[in-house]
Structure 1
Amino acid sequence: MKNIILTTLNARYSHSSLGLRYLLANLKELKNEAEILEFVINSSVQTIAEQILEKKPKIIGIAVYIWNAFDIGELVRIIKKVSPQTIVVLGGPEVSFQPLRVNFDMADYIVCGEGEVSFYNLCRELLDGNCTQPRTIHSPKVDLESIVLPYDDYTDFDIKNRHIYVENARGCPFECEFCLSSIETKMRYLDINVFLDELEKLWIRGARNFKFIDRTFNIKISYAKAILNYFLAKQEDYFLHFEVIPDNFPEELRDLIKQFKPGCLQLEVGIQTLNLDVAREIHRNLKIDKIKDNLKFLSTQTHAHMHIDLIIGLPSETIESFGKNLNQLYTLSTGEIQVGILKKLSGTTLDRHDKVYGMVYNDSPPYDILQNDLIDFSMMQKMKRFARFWDIVYNSGNFQKTTALLFEDGKVYENFYDLSIWLYKRSESTYKISLDRMAEFLFEYMLPKHDEELLANTILQDVMKVGGRKIPPFFKKIIPQNYDFAQKEVSKANKRQIVRQENE
């Protein structure tokens, strides 16, 4: 039995909560009375409540995020109904800023902001029976040099089965209005030698899958170089994920990135828009020439796999402007282009555009835009399906040769928009479409404009590049019986990334 249970619902089983481990690490004398229990969204909330309450905790601390807010709201209600004496404390970005758009009224306490110190103080007072804290606790920023780091609290099971999340800095120097990170423009860094020591301890324990949550990994070049050099010195395989700004890759950083082998390095590159007028409207600083040069460098001279972010629905951005952005990015990079839908998060200043541009958002998570003065509701719905099909067809890496054929005239947005409209009418769904079924759909859609055998062979080269696959039954009627495909073994760990790179 534990007095304190720390819990959350992660988006995937392979994810782990760095925030919970920070809380656990900083509980001081209460640490032995605490335990982390992690679950996954879309699990039975009643079963989750059952497993938590089996521990008979006095305090339950729950981390709330945009993806789990609804489930957490239900979880709180169930816990308080069946065990009203149990104290529920909420924290995390979804409850740190007003307005709260999910009902958390049954929670006993809400910790806003960084909770490493505040949560400990609250638990100590609650367990001592003399709590004087208000229901809503506003936590000040912590000193990264004075709090206990959380990395020893990753278990051996975590290291073997999950991504290990790490951070060397908090804050972001930019003021992009759609992003919560823009609230804190002052950067705070952990001493680089202390951080590298923590990485080494994790490495010795067997950690090989690291996700850095720093918002701008390459903003401080000396620290970025030290971290990259640390991993380049390792002889074993590993996987690293960094969020980077697209305009800051000096030669000294380029020289290091070029040395990483395929499958080792993944970069999330925030573009959002290439329209300078739109960027200025949301306080986003774009250096277009540098962005183009760096994307070309990363695509042609490195093995880094890229996730490049574009957003639909930004204030003052038309569909035509978004289409130009997509067409241009396709020519600049071979990486995945993550097509996202604008969300209005509590705490950001995005709401200042609501009246000017007629911005209308969903009041429930994920708070996505429904329409604005330039994109009506019907068109926004079409673009949400566009984004979903784009992920299935293009970003998956399953149809690289096929999409190259589809986009051969350079009209990436226009051609894929038409395809997405057709796909939705044909499938009546954006989910649970098998690889074989999508291959058949693509063949059916593209056949009027392409030679039958060429098209079939192109699609089959995509489908059959994963070793051990069988030719989809539909295509057996079209291709020669003796058609030979080179079988390739693809690592399960980073299949999506490696499949893409083999096509480049």
Structure 2
Amino acid sequence: MKILLTALNSKFIHSNLAVRYLKAYTRELPYNCVIREFTINDRREKILEEIIDEKPDIVAFSCYIWNIEYIKSLALLIKLVNPSIKILYGGPEVSYDSCNILKNMTGEYIIMGEGENTYYEFVEFQIKYFNKGKENIDSQFFLDLKEIKGLCFKWQGKMFLNEERELMDMNKIAFPYEEQDNLKNKIVYYEASRGCPFSCKYCLSSTIHKVRFLDIERVKREIKFLIDKNIALIKFVDRTFNCNPKFTLELWKFIIECDTQTTFHFEISADILTGEEIALLKESPKGRIQFEIGVQTTNENVLNNINRYVKFKDIKDKVKKIKANNNIKQHLDLIAGLPGEDFKSFKKSFNKVYSLQPEEIQMGFLKLLKGSPMREEAKKWKMVYSPYAPYEILRTNHITYDEITVLKKIEHMVDKYYNSGKFANIIKYFIFKFKQPFDFYYSLAMFFHDKGYFNRSISSVDYYKVFLEFQEEYFNESSMELKEIIKYDYLKFNKKKWLPDFLVREKSKGEEDYIKEKIQKENIKLSKKYHIEKFFIDVEKLLKSSVLEKKEGYVIFDIMENKEIYLFHNI
């Protein structure tokens, strides 16, 4: 018997943890288990062909809000090609109201919630009847199927929901990765705990309060295994990684002391970070650890509406302490459309978060997930949301659809310009011209909208050129200084030998030869690959003090070492 565990990831660099768990947990059972991973950007016909070529008896899909519609269509095509293939679904998107979901989908089975034990018993059951030659469609087959806890299934045109399965001992799950796994250029996901101590109404984790941890020594061994495979990024999927200070301290200490270039990503609650944890984090090599921190809103009334009892001043204090060390990337989340929050309130939240200057700010939009307490309160807040996955908010009694579409445009600006880090000095130049950061991103988004840039693809160079147009049309001015700032940001992240025609390159051969002589005489250490560029502003002063001063000088971009040297002013 062959089961094809199938994952449709959102991007090629992602890997699916769930299907690996299932295969590892049943590796002792006598069946052929194969994992295939695709992306939602792959052609449906090509995926279908590859699934059918595997000649599986059962195809199992890992279902989430971002791939469920694709999976529905793919399952239908599989059945059209080969009706004898059975379809099994699992994952958060099918774990609530499973009977109604299965009733309206092609396929026979759904595993609800935590899947390892249910899948193990399901495989045992299938092996038992498969080895008899074919399914015995009789009462015993049905009775055996009914005994599998955590399973929903179709039987003779009717839906059956088996008894709920209890949560498992975390230490009984199998390590999901193997020596032969090809994880090159992949984000590798790891789970040290399950559950969440908090009760945020928009989150499915709020329905499972018990937090379970793996044995810390086991975690260290498994992390070492992944480090030895030279993984670039290991992303912990724990909902609130730092909810157990003792566990957190020991693992962070282990990770900090490892000799590795691997980056570790944790989703944490910043307000509960302890002084001891912050002191330890100060010792972390730069780039070793990065944090995702859920702020959601700084409006305390709105936080109370979603059962999130956190004060922004506590988050602010911890985020600033971490930032002061300049060694840990921080990604802060906001959610638009929360109950009780209007456009003005969201604007205040954005400005407060922006003032912390985290490396990234994510503007998310409320999703009313199946089974979440927030969906049950939709009528109370007059929430209108899409009936299609990912069930995103359309409007509430506090924020209109038009306001949400404006926020989506602003979100695009923040992600492209702020989060990329490639326009930092250009942004600083403009931010000071506006009363608040939100006003800048709003104005830029409206400029993009009016120009039609959201409706067509613009080049990477045009994303820089836009600022010249923005300055001329919004402020009715142009300046050499802005062009020089754009030139610096452009050269820092793009090829150095070519400049777009809207930027000025003025450098004589004699000047460049003189600078090269200076480099040799003053024994300035550079790699073999570097680039010299002339500027008409003091770039060093701009970067260090945010002071814009006209002054001729040079920047040497050391390409291999990824550093700059500022010198030779007033040559």
User: Normalized against structure 1, the TM-score is what?
Assistant: 0.91
Deviation at 1:204, TM superposition (A): 3.1
Shift of 1:377: 1.5
SS in 1 for 2:461: helix
Q: Deviations over 1:382-422 (max 9, x none)?
A: 21122122211111112111112222245111221121011
1:155-304 to 2 correspondences below 5 Å: 155-158=180-183, 160-304=184-328
In the alignment, does 2:533 pair up with 1:463?
Answer: no
3-state SS of 2:421 partner = coil
- Report what 1:400 is aligned to: 424
CA contact (8 A) 1:310 1:338 kept: yes
Question: RMSD value over aligned CA atoms?
Answer: 2.4
CA contact (8 A) 1:113 1:140 kept: no
Q: 1:391 to 1:205 in 2, by over 3 A?
A: closer
2:176 maps to which residue?
150
Which amino acid letter does the alignment assign opposite residue 39 of structure 2?
V
Structure 1 stretch displaced more, 143-152 or 211-220 = 143-152
Preserved CA contact (<8 Å) 1:275 1:325: yes
Q: In structure 2, do the counterparts of structure 1 residues 108 and 102 end up closer, same or farther at CA, with 3 Å as the change threshold?
A: closer
> Could you tell which deviates more after superposition, 363-372 or 257-266?
257-266
Letter in 2 for 1:214: D
Task: Extract unaligned runs of 5+ from structure 1.
Answer: 500-504
DSSP-derived class of the 2:398 partner: coil
Aligned equivalents of 1:355, 1:470: Cα separation in 2? 59
Kept in 1, the 8 Å contact 2:10–2:40? The answer is yes
The residue type equivalent to 1:67 in the other structure is W
Sort the Cα spacing of 1:279 and 1:471 in 2 relative to 1 into closer, same or farther, 3 A.
farther
Q: 1:324 aligns with which of 348, 360, 376?
A: 348
Kept in 1: contact 2:230–2:262 (CA 8 A): no
Secondary structure at the aligned position of 1:456 is classed as: helix
C-alpha distance after superposition, 1:144-202 (max 9, x if no partner): 122323233x74412x2312211110000111111111111111111111221222223
1:31, distance to aligned residue in structure 2 (A)? 6.2
**1:90: which partner in 2?**
89
Q: How far apart are the structure 2 equivalents of 1:121 and 1:246?
A: 40
Compare 66-75 and 400-409 and name the one that shifted more: 400-409
Cα drift, residue 425 of structure 1: 2.1
Q: What is the total number of aligned residue pairs between the two structures?
A: 490
Alignment of 1:306-385 (within 5 A): 306-385=330-409
Structure 1 381/31 Cα, relative in aligned 2: closer, same or farther at 3 Å? farther
Unaligned runs of 5+ in 2: 130-140, 147-151, 154-160, 508-533, 536-553, 565-571
Select the structure of larger CA radius of gyration.
2
Matched residue, 1:443: 468
Q: 1:184 to 1:201 in 2, by over 3 A?
A: same
1:270 is displaced (CA, Å) by: 0.6
Secondary structure of the residue aligned to 2:399 is coil
Residue type of the partner of 2:145?
T
Measured after TM superposition, the shift of residue 459 of structure 1 is 1.9
SS of aligned partner of 1:464: helix
User: Which whole-Å deviations, capped at 9, do the CAs of 1:208-263 have from their partners, x for residues lacking one?
Assistant: 42110111111111111111111222223111100010102212111221122222
1:28 CA drift (Å): 4.1
**Separation (CA, whole Å) in 2 of partners of 1:415 and 1:258:** 33
SS of match in other structure, 1:435: coil
Q: Is 1:49 aligned to residue 75 of structure 2? A: no
Q: Which of the residues 426, 432, 446 maps onto 2:451? A: 426
Distance in 2 (alpha carbons) for counterparts of 1:318 and 1:389: 20
Partners of 2:485 and 2:279 in 1: CA distance: 36
Aligned-partner SS, 1:29: coil
* Identical-pair percentage: 31
Work out the CA distance in 2 between the residues paired with 1:103 and 1:307: 40
Residue 487 in 1 paired to residue 557 in 2? yes
CA distance in 2: counterparts of 1:403 and 1:167, whole angstroms: 37
Q: Are residue 132 (structure 1) and residue 145 (structure 2) matched?
A: yes
The amino acid across from 1:114 in the alignment is E
Deviations 1:81-129 (A, max 9, x none): 1111011100001111137779852121011101101112112212322
